[in-house]
Amino acid sequence: MASLLKSLGLAADPTRARLLLLLRREELSVAELQEILALPQSNISAQLSRLKAAGLVAARRSGKNRLYSLAKNPSTCEAFFTLLEAAGAELPEVKTDATALRVVLQKRARSAQAYFDALAGKFGRHYIPGRSWKALGEMLLKLMPPLVIADLGAGEGTLAQLLAQRARQVIAVDSSEKMVAYGAGLAREHGFANLEFRLGDIEEPPIEAASVDLAILSQALHHAANPQKALRAAHRLLKPGGRIAILDLLKHPFEKARELYADVWLGFSEAELHEMLSQAGFTAVETSIVHKETRSPGFQTVLALAEKAEL
């Protein structure tokens, strides 16, 4: 009984409770736990050390990493975990932890990702005649099927014009009258009859329900007053089987962005995007980090893809 009381005492700390609930589900490294919990590495290591000393957590070396899991401790009875799960239900962070855990495991499963990351890092460093991002982009655009696309938060419409080269129709929505007027003028000037600019907010885009194949929010979601409402609106305007693509900033601490760039939100974590897209009704959610700027403050770009289920 003393051992159970000691375990319960340790688990009374919210961070240690979250760690135990995660390690009950999966063996994880400190770096993975740091990503899931969004806490300093020193804090996580200190808590793991206490749990390990109490015999609740075990560690093993795997290459350069140390992986942590629940210890096979016969004195830790099922009653302890029943109480732990009940306590976890009272912690709002536990639900987010579960989503963040799925993101981490998806990353782990993409074993080839490291290779492609290394390859992407070398692209453009060495001259190869005829190779450029522009050429690759043009090729991919030509392979894109003729879709009806909503570019939400389109600004002056640079992306919308690129998409209009191949799309059946592009509807570009922006809340700035000047941006809409400028973009519409460029569309007329370049002869894009399939590109239409509409004045409106991404939280209530002026687009008919179930009329769009693809909804894109490129560096727009962090300007929304209510990002969840914007994602629900995107879900509404998509046809069954339609897709959403989000390019946005990964969550960051650069507070000056609010003043410099009129950002409402300081980006989003992959787990937050997973959660918001799921709550908006989307399925098959995927996220990945696709770019990191080298100069300070080192903004990173996250890509999120999801689908609207078929009827």
- Write the pLDDT tens digit of every residue in 46-55: 999 999 988 8
Q: CA-CA distance, 218 to 291, in Å (whole number)?
A: 14
Task: Tell me 241's DSSP state.
Answer: E
CATH class of 2-109: mainly alpha
For residue 279, what are its two tokens? Answer: 């709550």
Of 95, 89, 28, which is closest to residue 57 (Cα–Cα)? 28
Bridge-partner residues for 215, per DSSP?
A: 150, 244
CATH no. of 126-308? 3.40.50.150
Spell out the per-residue pLDDT of the chain, length 311, in tens: 346 667 777 778 889 889 999 998 899 999 999 999 989 999 999 999 999 988 888 999 877 788 999 887 655 567 777 888 888 888 889 989 999 999 888 887 765 456 555 555 555 555 567 767 778 777 888 888 999 999 999 998 989 999 999 999 999 999 999 999 999 999 999 999 999 999 999 999 999 999 999 999 999 999 999 999 999 999 999 999 999 999 999 999 999 999 999 999 999 999 999 999 999 999 999 999 989 998 999 999 999 999 999 87
User: How many residues are there in the chain?
Assistant: 311
Task: Enumerate the domain spans of the chain.
Answer: 2-109, 126-308
The CA-to-CA distance between both ends of the chain, in Å, stands at 54
Of 212, 218, 200, which is closest to residue 237 (Cα–Cα)? 212
Q: CA-CA distance, 301 to 222, in Å (whole number)?
A: 12
Bridge-partner residues for 308, per DSSP?
A: 282
- Please, which residues have CB within 8 angstroms of residue 169's CB and are 6 or more apart in sequence? 148, 149, 194, 195, 196
pLDDT tens string 200-214: 999 999 999 999 999
Q: CA-CA distance, 76 to 3, in Å (whole number)?
A: 8
Tell me if residue 100 falls in helix, strand or coil: helix
pTM of this prediction? 0.70
For residue 116, what are its two tokens? Answer: 């492609």
296 membership: H or E segment, kind and range: none
pLDDT tens string 142-169: 888 999 999 999 998 989 999 999 999 9
Tell me if residue 165 falls in helix, strand or coil: coil
Cβ neighbours, 10 Å, residue 1: 6
Tell me if residue 22 falls in helix, strand or coil: helix
For residue 132, what are its two tokens? Answer: 């450029």
